[in-house]
Amino acid sequence: MTAPSPAPSARPARVAVVGAGVSGLLCARSLSEAGVDVVLFDKGRGPGGRLSSRRLPEPEGAEALRVDHGAVDLCAPGPALAELLREAEAAGVLGRWQPREAVRDSAGQLRPLADPPARWVGLPSMSALARHWAQGLALRQGARCVAVEHRSDGIALRFDGPLAAPEEAEGLDAVVLSAPAEQTRALLPEGSPVLAGLAAARSAPAIVLMMALPAPLDLPYDRLRATSGALRLFIRDSDKPGRGEGERWLLEAAPDWSAAHLELDPVALRGLMIAEAEAVFGQKLQPTWAEAHRWRYGRSASPPIGAPLSLWAEGVGCCGDGLGGPGIEGAAASGLDVAARVLEGLGLRPPAEGPASGAP
């Protein structure tokens, strides 16, 4: 395998990004702003990945209600995101949320947080933020990539079905893979130099339950974190700004509970999780709608100290929260980092001064 040479100046460099979650979207935006011809491919039905919201089944004509069933909120955004969030707020797709917060200890004692941190949420749902970041990008949905190939005319992606424009996935100067590391590893050819960097990335499953209730629950919190038990996070989703009428919750199971119950079908999970929630809330729940969702690669573990935020070698870049660090912040930092490395690698930007984010 040889590294692709910088794109001839007669045409813009062509890069494909696999995955339109936070990291892939922000990478693609950054490349596009630098004049690169970028196409994003995602196997899902919309942008966002784990920054996503589920639409409730509603009678026709009724207001569309949603529950954020991936990333819940953003807390204390750091430098990687600050400017992007200011812009999103100005565009009306990001707002402040100040829930009443509490922690439940292993003895079942509740401790309200006297001074909870500021939180930010997408408006009117978390997925609105992803749609905002996807604006203006060439996004091909329902496109599941199955392999990256190095060919004589550049890099190519293979998919599990036909593409409307197959030429978009061939003769590429670079590709960026932004799926969780476990999924990205399966796309790479044996011997790819980025495989070693992905080996350490780990994620844990997260099973969530979304539910709508006929009336507000009389509880002294809107966001509860439990330090033990099957369920660890309890979010009164309908308390977030701009969510419309009604009472809706998102419950997230603990990583070990999620791993132990991952292969259970969603109907069985629904019953189990409602029973667990009743024990914590201390009351019977009769949801008008409830659905469990299994995130197989839900929450990434912190990468080893000193590990690079992204990977880049021989025209292949990798990013995502498994490399940049858990959460939206880490995913964003990784996506922006890989974009800078791609631009350098294609000769479109001079190398950054000081220590790079690491090799490969």
Q: Which of residues 295-334 bind ligand FAD (CB under 6 A)?
A: 295, 298-299, 320-321, 326-329, 331
Closer to ligand FAD by Cβ: residue 43 or 248: 43
Closer to ligand FAD by Cβ: residue 4 or 300: 300
Q: What are phi and psi of 235, to 5 degrees?
A: -120, 125
Per-residue x/- track, 93-132, ligand FAD (CB under 6 A): ----------------------------------------
Per-residue x/- track, 143-182, ligand FAD (CB under 6 A): -xx--------------------------------xxx--
Query: Quick check: bond before 124 cis, omega within 30?
Result: yes
In whole angstroms, how far apart are CA 346 and each of 122, 199, 203, 312, 355? 34, 26, 31, 11, 19
Tell me which of 15, 20, 123, 318 binds ligand FAD, using CB under 6 A: 20
Q: How far is the CB of 354 from ligand FAD (least distance, A)?
A: 25
According to DSSP, the residues that pair with 299 across neighbouring strands are 204
Closer to ligand FAD by Cβ: residue 210 or 348: 210
Closer to ligand FAD by Cβ: residue 206 or 340: 206
CA nearest neighbour of 139 among 164, 156, 120: 164
Q: How far is the CB of 244 from ligand FAD (least distance, A)?
A: 20
Closer to ligand FAD by Cβ: residue 49 or 345: 49
Q: What are phi and psi of 119, to 5 degrees?
A: -125, 155
DSSP run (H or E) holding 287? none
Q: What are phi and psi of 316, to 5 degrees?
A: -120, 125
Contacts of 295 by beta carbon, 8 Å cutoff, 6+ apart: 50, 70, 205, 206, 207, 208
State the Cα–Cα distance between residues 171 and 173, nearest whole angstrom: 7
Contacts of 170 by beta carbon, 8 Å cutoff, 6+ apart: 151, 153, 154, 156, 157
Tell me which of 44, 116, 193, 246 binds ligand FAD, using CB under 6 A: 44
Closer to ligand FAD by Cβ: residue 70 or 122: 70
Q: Which of residues 188-217 bind ligand FAD (CB under 6 A)?
A: 206, 208
State the Cα–Cα distance between residues 79 and 71, nearest whole angstrom: 19
Per CB under 6 A, 17 contacts ligand FAD? no
Q: How far is the CB of 215 from ligand FAD (least distance, A)?
A: 25
Q: Which of residues 249-288 bind ligand FAD (CB under 6 A)?
A: 252
Please give the angle made by the CA atoms of 120, 123 and 124, to the nearest 5 degrees. 135
- Given a contact cutoff of 8 angstroms between Cβ atoms, the answer to whether 209 and 290 are in contact is yes
Q: How far is the CB of 231 from ligand FAD (least distance, A)?
A: 12
Q: How far is the CB of 353 from ligand FAD (least distance, A)?
A: 27
Per-residue x/- track, 70-89, ligand FAD (CB under 6 A): xxxxx---------------
DSSP class per residue in 120-172? EEESS-HHHHHHHHHTTSEEE-S--EEEEEEETTEEEEEESS--SSGGGGSSB
Per CB under 6 A, 292 contacts ligand FAD? no
Footprint of ligand FAD (CB under 6 A): 18-24, 41-44, 49-51, 70-74, 144-145, 178-180, 183, 206, 208, 252, 295, 298-299, 320-321, 326-329, 331
